[in-house]
Amino acid sequence: MTNILLVEELERSFDDLRAVGGVSFFIESGETYGLLGPNGAGKTTTISMIAGLLEADRGSVRVAGQPMATKSTAAKRAIGLVPQDLAIYPDLTAKENLAFFGSLYGMRGASLARRIEEVLEIIGLSDRATDKAEEYSGGMKRRLNIGVGLLHEPQLLILDEPTVGVDPQSRNAILESVEALSTGGMSVLYTTHYMEEAERLCDRVGIIDNGLLVAEGSRRDLVESIGQNDTVHLSGTGDLRSATEALQATDGVVQAAEAHGVITLVVDRAASRLPSILGISGEAGMSVTSVDVSEPNLEAVFLHLTGKALRDET
């Protein structure tokens, strides 16, 4: 297989803040690659350099064999970008948005019109094609946002957290669309901080934190790298911080982190250790209201590697 994207030692700082510090990875043709990391990890900055929106301080990006920089129009033709925030013209209709961006990629005439109809069908906006985007619901705008990125049938589709702030129904529709594109052979770079999305969509995942790629591989490879540990989520009230500290020192607990009222634990053979975990939590001042034990997953990998919970508000 050939690499559709090759990123080598990519670095970028903003004043004294190092946003990306030497990221390297590749995406093979037809592969769906996930960049998984919490907010502020450096995902969007990495994507911006890959898409030619930001110049890298160091390192290089090649897309479909073409070097990428802010002036690299040839490399940009191979990419379809779906930014995290909406990037459509609210005062233009869906059709006009698609037609305009299609024209920038050299599409015109009957082929453009046909492709617009196809994309409208894919994103489910055929019956609202002539309505202005500002009249759409949030989910419809999100779908149009994706449609613009798909229009010119790019060799590499980059989706930057496309489901942030989206209702569950639209989120599922977006994920199904990405799955369909992936099945159709399109190479996809998908950034997210939702572990479930990365597990569902991606052939390989790169875990990024503090601007560094801390691990990379298939879901199975990554999970196996931390052993057969389970993930335990404790929800409750009281002194969660003290409980987290106490649990971190507990025998069998590999990692413990607290975020948004939930303590996430990576535990060796969780079933046998739950009684002691609950007891220690209570002694530390936490009143546990629910316990959830799950098989090893990417969230556990992230917690294991970074000591931080990936969980975020949804």
Which residues contact another protein (rule: CB under 8 A)?
48, 51-54, 70-71, 73-74, 76-77, 79, 81, 83, 85-92, 96, 100-101, 103-106, 148
CB of 289 to another protein, least distance (A): 40
Closest CB to another protein among residues 49, 286: 49
Smallest distance from another protein to CB 85, Å:
5
Shortest Cβ 197–another protein spacing (Å): 21
Report the residue number, 146 or 266, with the smaller CB distance to another protein.
Answer: 146
Buried b (16+ CB within 10 A) or exposed e, 152-170: bebbbbbbbbbbbebeeeb
Nearer to another protein, 40 or 168 (CB): 40
**Separation of alpha carbons 55 and 72, rounded Å:** 11
Closer to another protein by Cβ: residue 49 or 301: 49
Q: Which is nearer to another protein, 38 or 80 (CB)?
A: 80
**Minimum Å distance from CB 284 to another protein?**
45
Q: How far is the CB of 69 from another protein (least distance, A)?
A: 11
Q: State how far the Cα of 230 lies from the Cα of 254, in Å rounded to an integer.
A: 10
